[in-house]
Structure 1
Amino acid sequence: MLKVSSKIAIPLEEIDMHAVRSQGAGGQNVNKVASAIHLRFDIRASSLSEEVKERLLNLQDQRITADGVIVIKAQRFRTQEKNRADVLERLAALVGKATRRRKKRLATRPTRASKERRLKQKTRRGQVKSLRGKVSDH
């Protein structure tokens, strides 16, 4: 079980992980060892609550495909075990992000003093700019 929060856990059977070769520099190790991990997690087929599924699908994240599958690749570390832990941690963070509710914004209005300060600053700035003009010959 991947524990996301105290109330949410994802069974590991729902998470599809495959080891693949890493990209980039690394010499012989990178050429012969499959240390990178590809994770695929189907949101719609998961055991998450409908509310969490909906929030996950509505996230604007490039790791979520149009089919509702989360695809994460971890190749930061040299060992497969560390990359596996990293990819699971990143999935938990993404799902955790979707579970948090955003606070509703309270509408506020600027104070009279702040309006006056803004207008005074605009006037001062306009005067500075008007002085930048050409000097007349009077």
Structure 2
Amino acid sequence: MLIISNNVSLNDWEIQLTAIRAQGAGGQNVNKVSSAIHLQFSIPHSTLPDIYKERLMARSDSRISKEGVITIKAQQFRTQEQNREDALNRLAEMIRAAMVVQKARRETRPTRGSKERRLKAKGIKSQTKSLRGRIRD
């Protein structure tokens, strides 16, 4: 069972874990041992509350397919157990992050001091560039 928050958790049958061979350097160990984990989680067929499902489906994340299947590949560690824990932690973090509400941005205007500093910097840059030109008599 994967615990997301105090009142939200996922059952083991909802998460499909598959052991695969990892990519990259590692010699014989990588070529022989299936230590990487391929995690798949179907959002529409899960027991998550509807608000979680809506927010996850609304995210523009490349790990979420059009059908609502989250795919995570964990191959950072040498052992299958560590990669399994990493994949489950990443899934839990993704679900928690979907529930964080972004603070609305208040539109502000630049202060007079910041405008003056910007114009002064532009003047200095302009003078530096004009000195790089051809020397005339």
TM-score interval, smaller chain:
0.7 to 0.9
Structure 1, unmatched stretches of 5+, are: none
Show the counterpart of 1:80: 80
CA deviation after TM superposition for structure 1 residue 31, in Å: 4.4
Identity within the alignment, %? 54
* SS at 2:73 equivalent: strand
Structure 1 residue 78: Cα displacement: 3.0
2:2: which partner in 1? 2
Distance 1:42 1:9 in 2: 14
Q: Flag as ranges the 4+ runs of structure 1 deviating above 6 A.
A: none
How big is the shift at 1:66? 1.9
How far apart, CA to CA, are the structure 2 residues paired with 1:71 and 1:130?
A: 55
Aligned partners of 1:30, 1:130: CA distance in 2, in Å?
A: 59
Q: Secondary structure at the match of 1:5?
A: coil
Q: State the one-letter code of the partner of 1:6.
A: N
Read off the aligned partner of 2:83 and give its amino acid letter: N
Distance 1:108 1:58 in 2: 28
Q: Give the TM-score normalised by structure 1.
A: 0.83
RMSD: 2.0
What TM-score, normalized by structure 2, do the two folds share? 0.84
Partner of 1:118: 118
Is 1:54 aligned to residue 54 of structure 2? yes
Q: CA 1:41–1:133 in structure 2 vs 1: closer, same or farther (change >3 Å)?
A: same
- Structure 2 gap ranges (5+): none
> Within 2, Cα distance between the matches of 1:23 and 1:51?
36
In the other structure, the counterpart of 1:128 is 128
Q: SS state of the match for residue 53, structure 2? A: helix
Residues 116/76 of structure 1: CA separation in 2 closer, same or farther (3 Å cut): closer
Change in 2 beyond 3 A, CA 1:67/1:132: same
Q: Report how many aligned residue pairs link the two structures.
A: 136
Match of 1:17 in 2: 17
Q: 2:104 is aligned with what amino acid?
A: K
Pairs within 5 Å for 1:27-42: 27=28, 29-42=29-42
Cα distance in 1 for partners of 2:46, 2:86 equals 21
Change (3 A) 1:7 1:110: farther
Q: Which secondary structure does the structure 1 equivalent of 2:76 belong to? A: coil
